[in-house]
Amino acid sequence: MEKGNNVTKKKIDWTKILYPLIAIAAFIGLWQMAAWSYKSNLLLPPPLKTIQALWRVLQDASVLKNLLLTLRRVLTGFSIACMIGLPLGFAMGTSRALFRFFDPLISSIRQVPMMAWVPLTIIWFGLGDGPTLFLIAMVGIFPIILNTIAGVRSISPTYYHAARSMGSGPWSIFARVILPASMPDILTGMRLSMGMGWMSVICAEFIATSAGFGFAMVEAQTRMETDSLLALMIMGASVGFAIDKSIRFVESRLTHWRYAK
């Protein structure tokens, strides 16, 4: 008879490590072959030269300062999107009248390309934080609204009937039924919103600001430093990846029942 607790050893799924490494190696290999074919560091510098440029960029205090400025803008714009999108999403999800009232307007506005707003926002706010914050909030608000509506509408009427039968009022139903049940969809919307905000702020900083991570990329392009430009792109992609993974981690903790086996 075995003594002690029955411990199940977790096997490491090496494919989760191996496949991404193979994909990265294949990408670098194709990149190197393309660089050989172009035979021009200006058009496409090889991976090694880009990595050297990345090391220089990471040691540049001005680039890191611009990155922090961009992150602040993203978080501020994302907060604005949440403050408007969440209440509106809950209201439209619980009220058919409000949904019919707002849905045509939201469906129309969200079809406008983000870059189409840039000239108008510069007229409204001038150059600086104003246009970037507006654009981040504008592109980020729609995933939050739509996913919140979907989360609220996916709740079974049985839960509402059970809560009312126990004497729960509107606020109690919201806190104990609507919010927990719709949380997975809300967090998905927030993750999409943050990702879209990160991409949009870089584009906005190309045009509407004189500082920020996107502006640093414009400066590298102006100096014809393609290796530095690619290094900044890699750095931006890494930051976006880290943001997405961080939100996924929070999502897995707040909605742990979805991941339980």
User: Residue 197, Cβ neighbours under 10 Å: how many?
Assistant: 30
Distance CA 245, CA 250 (A): 9
- Which tens digits make up the pLDDT trace of 80-123? 999 999 999 999 998 899 999 999 999 999 888 888 888 888 88
> Lowest-pLDDT range, 34-38, 41-45, 132-136, 253-257?
253-257
In this model, does residue 256 exceed pLDDT 80? no
Domains of the chain: 47-258 (1.10.3720.10)
Higher per-residue pLDDT: 92 or 171: 92
pLDDT surpassing 80 at residue 9: no
Residue 257 CA to residue 144 CA, distance in Å, equals 22
Span 69-80, pLDDT tens digits: 999 999 999 999
* Separation CA 114–CA 128 (nearest Å): 17
Say how many CA atoms lie within 13 Å of 244 toward its Cβ.
Answer: 12
The predicted model scores a pTM of: 0.81
